[in-house]
Amino acid sequence: MFTGDFTQKKKVDLGGRRKELDRGRLLEQAKADRERRAREKLERVSATKIQAFARGRRSVSASRDQSRNSWQGQFGALGELATREALLYDSPFLPQLLFFFRLNNPTDIVRLAAACRLLLQNYSAKEPTALFFANGEAQKQLIMAQRAAKLAVTCLQAVHHNRQALLSELSSPWQASPGSLGNILLQTVLTLSGDFPWARQVLETLARADLFVYIRDILVLVGGSSKAVSSIERAALLLTSRYFEDRVGDLEGSLPARLRFAAQLVSIPFFWQRFSTFKQAAASRGLWQRSVHSLGGILPALGGALPGSPGPALPSEACLLGNLLEGAPGGLTAPQTSTEVASEFIRVGQTLMEGVPSTSYSHKAADVDGMDVESSVESAPGPSLDPALVKQLANLGDVAVLKPLVAALLSVPTDPAQPLQPPTPSEASLVGSLAWFLHSVHTLFPPLRARLFTSLAFSAQFTQRMWLYLKRCHLARQWPSMAVVGWEKQLLPEWLGWMLPLAVFCPVYSYLLMTIDDDEFYEKQRPLPLADLTILLSILKEAVWQLLWTYNSKLGSGSPLATPSDAGLFSAAATPPASTPSATASSHADLSPQAFLKHVGTVAATLLAQLNDRNARREFTQPESFHAKGIVDERFYIQARDDPDSQARELLRKAPFLVPFPARVRVYQSLLDVARSKVANWQTPWTAAEIPIRRNHIVEDGFDHLSGRPGESMRGRMRIHFINEFGEHEAGVDGGGLFKDCMEGIIKVAFDVQYGLFKETADHHLYPNPASHLVMTNGDHLRYYEFLGKILGKAMFEGILADIPFATFFLSKLQSKNNLLNDLPSLDPELYKSLIFLKHYEGDVVDLGLFFSVENNELGEMAETELIPGGKDIPVSNENKIKYIYLVANQRLNLQIRRQSAAFQEGFAQVIDPEWIQFFNEQELRILISGSKESADMDDLRENAVYGGGYDDKHPVIQAFWDVVKSLDSRQQRLFLKFVTGCSRGPLMGFKYLQPQFAIHRAAPSDQPDASVRADIVNRLPTSATCMNLLKLPPYRNKDMMKQKLLYAITAGAGFDLS
C-alpha cells in the first residue's frame, strides 16, 4: 500500500551469512565467465580465419581465371599459338599454365598436353637446357628446376587423376600410341627427370609428391603380366631406375616410410610376376638389394608404412614378403650383394613374417621335428591366403633362398689347417639373426618344415656350418652373447648365445638323421665325424639338463632365468654382448620366451634321443656318455614317484637317457608299487571271482572274459579256473600260479605266427600282421589286438616276464614313436638295400620307372597304395627321390600297421601308464617285458629261492644242484630259466622280484630218505610248473647224473609234469 514514502527500505536477512558457500559459488561463476570469454574469442578468431580463407580462395580463383584468360589471349585457347620461345625462362607460358591448371578441368588437361607436346618436339638430348635458356643463362637454373619439377608433378597427377579414362593407352605398349594423351604426359615426366642438371630435384619433388603412390594405383589398375610391356610399366621402371642412380643419391632413405618405392611398389601382390621388366631389373640394377636396404631402414614401423591390403586373402605384409622371397635367389647371389644386405633381409623378413595372419597356415601340420610322420599327405595352408601367395611364401623353405643366406651369415674359417678360434661378437650377431629367422619360419609356418629342413640339411650345408660354429664356441669355452630385444628380463644374452644356435641346429640335424643310413653315419661319417659326436653329446646333455632341470625351477619368476655363475658347461658365456641385437622379440605367442625355451628343450632332447637310439643299435660311444653326472639322488626318486608335475618326472619324460637305466627301472618299479597299492583286491586275491578258461580255447575264452574289462579292472587280481578238453573243471585253487599259467598260455598261442595276428621278420621278431583283417573276417581283429595289448600290460603290471621277441619297430609304437629308414632292415632288408641304392644313384632316377606308389602282397592279393594323392602318376626324380625313400619307409614301417598298432597300444595303455614307458628306449622296453640276459645271475637266483618237500639250502642234493647250474654255460642257463619260469631271462631288478618266488620241491616220497628212494624215481627227469616257478627235483645220487638229467630236460623242451 502506498504511504507517500518514496525511499526503499533496507532488507535484512536474519538467517545469517555462510561465507564458505558464497566463496565457492563465486569461484564457479568466475570460472564459467572465463570459459565463456575464451569460447567467444575462439569463435571470433575462427570466423576471421574462415573469412580470410574464403576471401583468399575467391581471390586465387579470380586470379586463376584472370591468368587463364591472359594465357589464352597470348597462346590461344588450347595453346595452339605457342612456339618454341614460349618455353624459355622469361616466357609466362609455363608459369601461368602451372598456376591456373586444375585437375578437374578437362580443358586444362588438353592445354597441359599441348605444352608437353611443345616441350617434347623441341627437346634435344645434346643440349637439354637450351630448351629453357637462351645464351646459357645458367644462373636461373634453380628457378627453372622448381618449374620443371612442378610440371613433372602436374603431369603425373594428371595421369593418375584420369587413369580410368586413359586405361587403354596406359595398358598398351608405348610404341602403339606414342602421341596419345597419357603417353605424352608420361614422356614429359621422363624427359624432365632425365638428362637435366636438376634431375635429382625433379625426382625428389616427384617422390615427395606421392610418385610411387600414384604409380602403384595405376599399375594395380592396369594389371600387367602381358607379353608386351605397357607404357606405364615402361615409365615406372625408368623413373625407378633414375630414382636409384648413384648420381641422384640416396633419395629412398630420405623419404618418409610411406612414400618409399619398396613400401609402395614391392608390396603390390605378385609384383615381379605381373611386371616382368621389374623382375629383370631386380638383380641386374640392384632394385632388390635397394628395396631390402630401404625396408631395413624403417624397421620396426614397417607394417604401418604399407598400403592397405587389397583383401583378406592378400595382406600387405604377406605380399611384400612373398615378393622379396621371389626376388631373393637372384638378389642374394648377385655380385653386389653383401653380408649386410643378407642380414637386413633376415630382419625385414622376420618383421613381415609376424604380420602374416596366424590362421593363414595350419598349425596342425605334420610335425617333422617331432617325428609325427605317419601322415603321408602334406598339410595344406589355411584358406585365408591366396593360393598364389601361399606358393610365394613357400620360398621361405626354398634352397635357392636359404643356401646363399647360410653362406653369407654362417662363415667358415678360411684356413682349415689353423686352430679353430672362438667366434667374434659380430659373427655371433649374424648367426643369432639367422637362427631367429629360421626358428620363426619353423614356428609360424608348420607346413613348410619339411621343405625348410630338406633345404638346410641336404643343400645349404647348414648342419656342417652351424656345427663348426658350435664346436668353436665349445672348444674355446666362449659362447658370445646373442640379444633378443625385449627378452632382457627373461633370458640373458649369455644364455641365448647357445640357445639360439641349438634351436635350429637340433631339428635340422634330427631331420638329417632320419634319412642317413648306417653306412653314411658310421663308415663315411656324414655329416659329422664320430669324434665330434662326443663333443655334441656334451653340449646337448648340458643344454637339456639346464633347460629341463635348472630352468624349470626359475621359469616365471620374473627375473632372468640364469646367471653366468650357474651356467655349467656354458659358464664362459659371460663375454661382452654382441655389437648389435640378433633379433627383436615377437608379439606371437608361439615366439614367446616360454615357448622358445620349451622348443629348445624339446628339440635338444629329441636329437639326443635319436643319437642314443643309434648308439643302442650300434655303439659309437659308451652308453654312459649319455648320462648326466650327479643327477640321481634320493630327492630325485621321491619327486619322480610322488609328483607327476615335478622336474624329475619332466626329465624322465623328455630326456630319460640322462638318467642311468637302473635308476629309471627303480622309478618304474616304485610307480608300479604305488599303482598296485591302489588296487582294491591286491592284498586279497581270493575275493576275486573265478574266470572259467578252456585250455584248448585259451585265447578265445580269455578274449570273451577279459577284453571288455576296463583298465582299472584289468589291474585287479584275477582267479582262473581251467576246464579241460572234456569239459571238466580241473582240480586246484588259483593262488597266482593258475593265473600265470593262463597268461603264458594266451601269450604262447596268440603271439604265434600260426595264429595269424603277428608276422615274423627275417631275424624272427614279431610285428602285427598288416593283413589281419583277412585272417579274422568277422571284423574283430582290432579288438583282439587291443585285448593282447591288455594282456601284455597285465603281465608287466603283475611282474610276469613274457618271452615275446617283439620287433624294435613295433615296440616303438607303444611309445607313440614313428619308425625311420634305419629301422627298415629288420623288416625288409631287400627293400632297404633298394632304397639305399636309389638314394646314392647318380644317374637319372626317372629312367628307373618309379612312381609314388607301392604294391603290397596281402595273402596272395596284390594291392597298390599311393604314397601321396595321385602318386601312381607322379614319377620319382632326382629332385624328389629323398621324399620317395622317406615315404616308402614310412608306409612299410608305420602306415601299414598303424591300425593294428594303435589298437594294441590302446589296450596296453589301459593297464600300464604310457608315461612310464617313455622312460625307456625300445631295447630297454624289451628288457622290461622279457627280462635281461645279464640279469640271469644264478647266485642271485639261489639267494632268492625257497625249498620244500624236505629240501633246504644246506641239503646235499641242493648244494650239488647249484654246483651243476653254475657249471652250465650261459646258453644252457637261459634254457634252464625258460624251463622253470617260462622265460629265458631273469627279472630286471633281480630274482627278488620274480613272482611267484622260485621254489625247488623234492620229487620223492617225503617218508623216504634219499638213500632209500626207489631207482625208478631217481631215474626220472626233473619237471617244472612254470605257472608257479617251481622245479620238482628228484634226489639224484651224484652230480653227473643230475647234470645229465637236467640238460636232457631243458634241451628236450620238457615242461609241466613231464616225467
Alpha carbons 165 and 97: distance in angstroms, whole number = 22
Q: What is the pLDDT of residue 873?
A: 93
Q: What is the pLDDT of residue 629?
A: 79
Distance of CA 554 to the CA centre of its chain: 25
Instruction: Tell me how crowded residue 944 is: count the other CB atoms within 10 A of its CB.
Output: 15
Q: Strands, E, within 426-573: which ranges?
A: 484-485
Q: φ, ψ for residue 118 (rounded to 5)? A: -60, -45
Sign of the CA dihedral with 230 first, then 231, 237, and 240 last: negative
HEC-encoded secondary structure of 607-633: HHHHHHHHHHHCCCCCHHHHCCCCCCC
Q: Which residue has the cell 674355446?
A: 476
Cis (ω within 30 of 0) for the bond into 527? yes
Alpha carbons 897 and 760: distance in angstroms, whole number = 13
Q: Given the DSSP bridges, would you call strands 853-858 and 861-866 parallel, antiparallel or unpaired?
A: antiparallel
SS3 865: strand
SS3 708: coil
Spans in the chain with pLDDT lower than 70: 1-21, 133-139, 225-226, 246-249, 358-383, 414, 416, 551-582, 732-735, 858-860, 933-935, 1053-1059
Instruction: Tell me how crowded residue 947 is: count the other CB atoms within 10 A of its CB.
Output: 16
- Selecting from 3.40.630.30, 3.40.1160.10, 3.30.2410.10, 3.40.720.10, what CATH number does the domain 931-1051 have? 3.30.2410.10
Instruction: Tell me how crowded residue 1017 is: count the other CB atoms within 10 A of its CB.
Output: 14
For residue 521, give the DSSP letter.
I
Q: Given the DSSP bridges, would you call strands 853-858 and 484-485 parallel, antiparallel or unpaired?
A: unpaired
Residue 781 sits at the vertex; the CA angle it makes with 779 and 786, to the nearest 5 degrees, is 130
> What separation in angstroms does the CA of 733 have from each of 229, 644, 737, 818?
96, 39, 9, 44
Dmax over CA atoms of the chain, in Å, equals 167
Instruction: Tell me how crowded residue 594 is: count the other CB atoms within 10 A of its CB.
Output: 11
Sign of the CA dihedral with 886 first, then 892, 896, and 902 last: negative
What grid cell was written down for 524? 663315411
Phi-psi region of 996 (alpha: psi -120 to 50; beta: other; left: phi over 0): beta
Alpha carbons 197 and 256: distance in angstroms, whole number = 25
Q: What is the pLDDT of residue 581?
A: 64
The answer to whether 629 touches 529, Cβ cutoff 8 Å, is no
Q: What is the pLDDT of residue 398?
A: 94
Distance of CA 669 to the CA centre of its chain: 35
Q: How far apart are the first and last CA of the chain?
A: 150
Q: Where in the chain is the domain with CATH 3.90.1750.10?
A: 685-817+907-928
What grid cell was written down for 138? 645458367
Write the CATH number of the domain with boundaries 821-893.
3.30.2160.10
The DSSP element (H or E) to which 473 belongs, if any, is: helix 462-476
The DSSP element (H or E) to which 948 belongs, if any, is: strand 946-948
SS3 23: helix
Q: Given the DSSP bridges, would you call strands 719-723 and 690-694 parallel, antiparallel or unpaired?
A: parallel
Alpha carbons 382 and 390: distance in angstroms, whole number = 9
The answer to whether 119 touches 87, Cβ cutoff 8 Å, is yes
For residue 419, give the DSSP letter.
P
> In whole angstroms, how large is the CA radius of gyration of the chain?
43
The answer to whether 131 touches 119, Cβ cutoff 8 Å, is yes
Q: What is the DSSP string of 241-271?
A: HHHT-TTT--HHHHS-GGG-HHHHTTTSTTH
What grid cell was written down for 427? 659373427
Q: What is the pLDDT of residue 174?
A: 84
Would you identify the CATH topology of the domain 685-817+907-928? Hect, E3 ligase catalytic domain fold (3.90.1750)
Q: Given 319, 473, 742, 1027, which residue is catalytic? A: 1027
Which residues have C-beta within 8 Å of that of residue 854, sequence separation ≥ 6? Answer: 864, 865, 867, 888, 891, 892
The answer to whether 542 touches 570, Cβ cutoff 8 Å, is yes
Q: What is the DSSP string of 567-606?
A: -GGGGGG-SPPPSS-SEE--S-GGGSHHHHHHHHHHHHHH
Q: φ, ψ for residue 725 (rounded to 5)? A: -70, -15
SS3 450: helix
Note the pLDDT tens digit of each residue in 128-172.
777 786 555 556 778 888 999 999 999 999 999 999 999 999 999
Q: What is the mean pLDDT of the chain?
A: 85
SS3 857: strand
The DSSP element (H or E) to which 917 belongs, if any, is: helix 914-917
Q: Strands, E, within 618-761: which ranges?
A: 690-694, 719-723, 758-760
Q: What is the pLDDT of residue 732?
A: 67
Note the pLDDT tens digit of each residue in 37-58.
998 888 888 888 888 777 777 8
> Which spans in 1001-1038 are helix H?
1015-1018
Q: Where in the chain is the domain with CATH 3.30.2160.10?
A: 821-893
Alpha carbons 432 and 503: distance in angstroms, whole number = 10
Q: Where in the chain is the domain with CATH 3.30.2410.10?
A: 931-1051
What grid cell was written down for 495? 644364455
983 is catalytic: no
The answer to whether 428 touches 582, Cβ cutoff 8 Å, is yes
The DSSP element (H or E) to which 915 belongs, if any, is: helix 914-917
Q: Which residue has the cell 618409399?
A: 260
Q: Which residue has the cell 620366451?
A: 593
Alpha carbons 781 and 774: distance in angstroms, whole number = 9
> What separation in angstroms does the CA of 219 have from each of 196, 216, 283, 327, 553?
27, 5, 21, 19, 58
